[in-house]
Each structure stands twice: as structure tokens, then as C-alpha cells.
Amino acid sequence: MEKKIMIKVDNVSMRFNLSSEKFDSFKEYVIKTLKKQVSVEEFWALQDVSFELREGEALGLIGLNGSGKSTMLKTIAGVLKPTKGSVSVNGSVAPLIELGAGFDMDLTAAENVYLNGALLGYPRKEMEKHYNDIVEFSELHDFMNVPVKNFSSGMVSRLAFAISTIGTPDILIVDEVLSVGDFRFQEKCEQRIQAMIDKGTTILFVSHSIQQVRRICNKIVWLDHGHMKRWGDADEICDEYERS
């Protein structure tokens, strides 16, 4: 029986308007805009990208900086609306896109567990069930009453990952988060991701480490300056990418 499609990206293009000049104040920008004195350049971060991902598959997005990977993830997560084309997502999404996104840096780690959980749609009682697991996995036992603003980037990453991977979301989106932290913790995160895949979670994964992509993903979308260069089997495309 063919597994259901969890994500369908259909001819997606994303355009940003970039101003070619600098402004000393917002007031100056508004005045020049009203006088139509602001010159704007179009930048297409994505152009006509199409692919689909089925239940339990793990898709790696690869490409050089500026290829459109993060823009694609944000479009799928619903953070950005495509200029052209459409994105269909079936099921609950746990996005882990920007380090510390959804955290209030003045609150403690414990307080942020409940805040971040609420943003992900989990009621407080549900977060209470998972609290000990979050603390255990993140290895932050001695720091849960410390404001997150005092955390290193690695500590923030560990807490964010532990929260985003509670339960079994239908779709997990991970963008470069595993590049922060020590090798042992990265292995631990990979093991949790693999366990989620085994339970049927669909993974969207971005990493500059092709070795990491090989270990986690079975499908690849290779983006190049906003265009989809290749889509298909992970090992085959990773080999080609490493040769390029």
C-alpha cells in the first residue's frame, strides 16, 4: 500500500524585493517610498521548485549558501507564503528552523519549556508529562532555573531540539540545528530522529554535513541558486554533489 503524501510542493517560486539604497531612518524610507524615489530590485530565492514527500520519508535539502534551502523550509513551515505555486502539508508540524525561535530569553529554561510547547500547540498538562524527558535529553538538569539569555548557543540548541521532538509529530523540520553542540550530542539527536522516522514521522532536514544527510535521509532535493538541480535517491545525489 502506497504511503500518503505528507508534503507536496508544486511549482513554488519566492520573490523578495531588495532595496538598492540605505536609509538613515524609517521616516526617510516612508517619505521616499511615497515620492516613489526608492529603487527596488527583484530577487528570486526559489524558482519553479516541485517535489513531494511521503509518510516516514526523510528528505535532505542540500546546496551552497544562498541556494534557497532555508527559504524552502520556511515556505513549507508556513512562515513564508510563496509568490507563485502552492505548498500542501498534511499533519502536525514541529519546526526547528531558527536557533531559539519561540524562546523568551529573559525567562528561565523551565519557563521556556512551557512557552515553546504552547507555541507548538501543546497544552500545559501535555508539557508536564514530557518535562522530565526534555530535561533528561537536553542534559540541562542544573540550568533549568537559569534565564536562557545566559545559555551558550549549544545549550539553546539542545533545549530547542528536546522540546521539538517530544511525542511523534507528523512532520519534523530541522535546519542546521545539529551543527551546534558536541559530536556526542549530535549522535544522540540523530538517534532520536531515526526513532521518529521508524514511528512514521516525515523529516525535512538541512545540514552542511553531507555525511549527516547520508545517515538520516533517503531522499534529496538539491537546490542551486533557487532552482531544483536534482531530486531523488540520497546516496546517488550525495555522490554527485560531492564530486561537483
Give the tens place of pLDDT for each residue, 175-193. 876 666 677 888 888 899 9
**Rg, the chain, Cα only:** 20
3-state class (DSSP) for residue 210: helix
Matching residue, cell 535546519: 175
Range 150-156 average pLDDT? 90
Cα–Cα distance for residue pair 203/174, rounded to 1 Å = 8
Residue 84: predicted pLDDT: 96
170-192 as b/e: b if 16+ CB within 10 A? bbbbbbbbbebbeeebbebbeee
Q: Which CATH superfamily is domain 5-35+43-243 in?
A: P-loop containing nucleotide triphosphate hydrolases (3.40.50.300)
Residue 81: predicted pLDDT: 95
Q: Where are the domains of the chain?
A: 5-35+43-243
Range 17-36 average pLDDT? 67
Q: Which of 40-44, 90-94, 113-117 has the lowest mean pLDDT?
A: 40-44
pTM (global) more than 0.75: yes
Q: Within 13 A of 65's CA, how many CA atoms are on the CB side?
A: 1
Residue 29: predicted pLDDT: 61
- 223: Cβ contacts below 8 Å, ≥ 6 apart: 46, 49, 61, 62, 63, 67, 68, 69, 72, 229
Q: C-alpha angle with apex 104: 101 to 107, nearest 5 degrees?
A: 145
User: C-alpha dihedral over 92, 98, 104, 110, to 10 degrees?
Assistant: 60
Q: Within 13 A of 183's CA, how many CA atoms are on the CB side?
A: 2
Does 225 have pLDDT greater than 70?
yes
